[in-house]
Structure 1
Amino acid sequence: MEKSQITENADGTMRSLSNRNVQMIAIGGTIGTGLFLGSGTTISKTGPSILLVYLVLGIFFFLMMRAIGEMLYSDPSQHTFVAFITRYLGPTVGHFTGWTYWLGLSFCAMAEITAISTYIQFWFPNIPSWIIQLVFLGTLASVNLIAAKVFGEAEFWFALIKIIAILALIATGAFMMISHSTTPLGHASIQNIFHNFALFPHGSLGFISAFPMVFFAFQGIEFVSITIGEAETPHRIIKKAVNETLLKILIFYFGALIVIMGIIPWTHLTAASSPFVQVFKLAGFPAAAAIINFVVLTSASSSLNSFIFSAGRHLYQLAQENPENSWMHQHVAKISKNGVPAAAIILSALFLLITPLMSLTSATASVFTIVAGSSNDMYIIVYALAMMAHRKYRESTDFLPDGFKMPWYSITSPLTIAFFAIIFITLFFIPQDIIGAVGAIAWTVVFGGITYLHQRSVVTANAEQ
């Protein structure tokens, strides 16, 4: 699209993202290293019943996206769904959610930067981690500073590589199962999925622990909502992206998991190695490890690209919500000539410089693990607040009776909120997640209290003027 044809928003951002950009951003943001590297762990915990876990999580994420999509359809000018939390639950909750979500994005981005350096060192073990991290952070931050369209195109190709890898796995696996190929583990067949089937092969706790793992695998699907403010035809794209993206993701996940378990009996799968590498090696591709390493490298780069994009928009939103005479509002709530929140992107990228600094010492590794775990768990609270904001939207004058409505709202809305609460409770039954869950509660109490006192002082100061 020519620049002259691109619509400019009132705040100076450009509506330059096409439907294919938005679709790929949503798919790319959700299908990550969790599938390529972590699926062996989830399958080993639950066996074939992992498909049921993905289905249940998929349904509730779809309902959440329909709630967010309904609010965006009523006002597609917003750059982030957190804006609706501010509007319908108040500035205190919105401020708390915005900073919480921004920090969560930042810690996720730090994890991806760390992963990128590991993947590069697969080929170049002598290059220091901090150099790799600086190069990738600088490159992808620059991509985000150029224009939203450039970010969208980069994300399109990143996501396409992942999708090609998954389709190649599905095609290879389907051929092996149809031809009943013989492997060192037996015959490739769909029957392997049902052989020795048990709903709870490692007990009910193993099954329950798979839910948070798959929950975090779906984390990032809301990125589609962050692109709507810069999408070419927002109303059409909202409907198409929300309705189709989750279906495509479920197809990719289901297809990959069925093929993996059809070729490798699920009792042989462990967390030790990537199921993708195992399948391609059994199919006779000795370079499988290098190929999948390239795929997960692009996957981590894709996630980092999306995290920088999203973090920049959220920091921009937070700056806008600050008083006009504040430093944040005057210096960060700015849109560059390229139509991007450049100051917010740069500040977000500078915060991520903590990662290469941490790579110089191992002393902060355990602290980072705890903080990152807590921020991941905070996503559950953020999603629940988005659902509560949607309920307030339904009661407001903004509600569009003929809009893009959440299906069976009176039943599905409270069910979705209850489900997120259950997911959070399950964290306390999983030893490795307890610290993160407690950290998330502590963050909510402490930072929530600080936010409340800050907002109260702002209101008092405005009243005295």
Structure 2
Amino acid sequence: MHEKNKKNADGTVRSLSNRHVQMIAIGGTIGTGLFLGSGSTISKTGPSVLLVYLVIGCLFFLMMRGIGEMFYSDPNQHTFVAFITKYLGHTAGYFTGWSYWIGLLFASMAELSAIATYVNFWFPHIPAWLIEVVFLAVLATLNIIAVKVFGEAEFWFAMIKVIAIVALIVTGIFMAFFHASTPVGHASFGNILDHFTMFPNGFFNFFAAFPMVFFAFQGIEFVSITLGESKDPKTVVKKAVNETLWRILIFYIGALSVIMVVIPWTKLSPTNSPFVQVFSIAGLPAAAAVINFVVLTSAASSLNSIIFSAGRHLYQLAKDTHTDGFIHKNLTHVSKNGIPIASIGLTAALILINPILTVTHSVSFMFTLVAGATSDMCIIVYLFTMFAHRKYRKSADFLDHGFKMPAYQFTSPLTIAFFVFIFVSLFFIPGDEVGAISAVIWTVAFYAGIGIKRLVSRSKA
């Protein structure tokens, strides 16, 4: 069979090219936080925020090298959670699979709420629930038609974000080169270091920036989920992991640096989009509308990727024979064009809870509610993933000449310690402790439930 139509044993199709995977990886990580929320981060930490992004970016790269190493040895897996099941056991895989899938559902609801907000910028009289239903229907359809259609849509969604960032960087460099006059001074490369201190607003604000930036990178693992349906997974995994992260770092660090070049960080508004501020100073009268369009496509891109990822995770759970019928086996159905259509359909149907709730609650309230509930469990899933990688290293599957995590003996425990640090830090940051406590309660309750179920089974036997 021709490469572009190659099918896996389970009926899914390998039709994603390297350009699809690369842009999915970039688009899945660069979200609305950069376009809208980075002004708040800069105002709290100043230029030292660049160090925070660099440190966290490098540690996420190490995690991706661990995931990439396992996928390189077994590219037929659909999700990185499958390796948790394989190397840490079915209970751990069951826990992380459900936790991650539920987290994706909450994340999708948050993105859907955001989409309604951005569309209401132009059409304030359209009900938020109607906007959400229409966008969800369109994106779910893109996911169901064919993997290549999803990949192509995600490519162009991501391209819009990349163009916006490149435009910002070029505009900022041009303004700095000619020392353009602005309402707050002059654009200058020296603005970055002007009044520089490592902790301009105290050590705690610098410390609190780490979890904020951490969540900006959350979603980088989505690229690994595309490998099971890419044309040449062993080549793609190397490119996706090695090339994507430095591009993301350039986009993040480059964009943030240029923002501080044009507008001194001490005079940057923490509540308005820094992209809007820069483009407005540069003389773009429609800056707010342009950036609203960018963040709309950014949210649509994220939702598109989440539907893809969540559908594959539910499909993986359905394939697990140890689910004991909890998930109906029909969810393993794959359509003729290679799509786990039932898993995607159920996932999309559950996301419909959000527009139903939106009818009786404000969009901003819903966004705050679901966004706050989604992120913390991912840290625990990342920890399980790194422990699975350590087990892989000691297993017979380990490829000594494969795509290995660099300096494993040092970088593996460093990455694990970093994730533990991020999770513990949440308990000390006002507003974040609720999510962290909820994540602990969920973990304890899940394992307690598994333990009780086993005791009951043994007593009956």
| TM-score, with structure 1 as normaliser | 0.96
Please give the alpha-carbon distance, in whole angstroms, between the structure 2 residues aligned to 1:311 and 1:292.
Answer: 28
Alignment of 1:299-448 (within 5 A): 299-323=298-322, 326=325, 328-362=327-361, 369=368, 372-448=371-447
User: In the alignment, what sits opposite 2:262?
Assistant: 263
* 2:113–2:363 Cα contact (<8 Å) kept: no
Deviations 1:282-309 (A, max 9, x none): 0000100000000000000000000000
User: In the alignment, what sits opposite 1:54?
Assistant: 53
- Which amino acid counterpart does residue 295 of structure 1 have in structure 2? V
* 1:96–1:451 Cα contact (<8 Å) kept: no
User: Is 1:140 matched with 2:139?
Assistant: yes
- Which amino acid counterpart does residue 110 of structure 1 have in structure 2? M
Q: Which runs of 5+ in 2 are unaligned?
A: none
* 1:322–1:329 Cα contact (<8 Å) kept: no
Change (3 A) 1:323 1:60: closer
How far the C-alpha of 1:364 sits from its partner, in A, is 10
How far the C-alpha of 1:268 sits from its partner, in A, is 1.4
Change (3 A) 1:44 1:230: same
Deviations 1:98-144 (A, max 9, x none): 00000111111100000000000100000000000000000000000
User: Is 1:68 matched with 2:67?
Assistant: yes
Please give the alpha-carbon distance, in whole angstroms, between the structure 1 residues aligned to 2:402 and 2:134.
Answer: 45
How far the C-alpha of 1:272 sits from its partner, in A, is 1.1
User: In the alignment, what sits opposite 1:173?
Assistant: 172
How far the C-alpha of 1:371 sits from its partner, in A, is 5.8
User: Is 1:10 matched with 2:12?
Assistant: no
| Alignment root-mean-square deviation, CA | 1.9
Q: Bigger shift: 432-441 or 28-37?
A: 432-441
Deviations 1:227-249 (A, max 9, x none): 00000000000001100000000
User: In the alignment, what sits opposite 2:237?
Assistant: 238
- Which amino acid counterpart does residue 296 of structure 1 have in structure 2? V
How far the C-alpha of 1:41 sits from its partner, in A, is 1.0
How far the C-alpha of 1:63 sits from its partner, in A, is 0.2
Deviations 1:371-396 (A, max 9, x none): 64243111111101100000000011
How far the C-alpha of 1:3 sits from its partner, in A, is 7.4
How far the C-alpha of 1:334 sits from its partner, in A, is 1.4
SS across alignment from 2:375: helix
* 2:52–2:210 Cα contact (<8 Å) kept: yes
* 1:91–1:455 Cα contact (<8 Å) kept: no
* 2:276–2:291 Cα contact (<8 Å) kept: yes
Q: Which runs of 5+ in 1 are unaligned?
A: none
Deviations 1:198-235 (A, max 9, x none): 10011011001111111000000000100000000000
Change (3 A) 1:225 1:36: same
Please give the alpha-carbon distance, in whole angstroms, between the structure 1 residues aligned to 2:58 and 2:261.
Answer: 24
How far the C-alpha of 1:398 sits from its partner, in A, is 0.7
- Which amino acid counterpart does residue 309 of structure 2 have in structure 1? S
Deviations 1:155-186 (A, max 9, x none): 00000000000000001001000000000100
Please give the alpha-carbon distance, in whole angstroms, between the structure 2 residues aligned to 1:352 and 1:40.
Answer: 30
Please give the alpha-carbon distance, in whole angstroms, between the structure 2 residues aligned to 1:457 and 1:375.
Answer: 32
Change (3 A) 1:444 1:374: farther
Please give the alpha-carbon distance, in whole angstroms, between the structure 1 residues aligned to 2:118 and 2:2.
Answer: 37
> What is the count of residue pairs matched by the alignment?
461
Q: Percent identity?
A: 64
- Which amino acid counterpart does residue 280 of structure 1 have in structure 2? F
How far the C-alpha of 1:367 sits from its partner, in A, is 8.3
Please give the alpha-carbon distance, in whole angstroms, between the structure 1 residues aligned to 2:395 and 2:69.
Answer: 13
How far the C-alpha of 1:326 sits from its partner, in A, is 2.4
| TM-score, with structure 2 as normaliser | 0.96
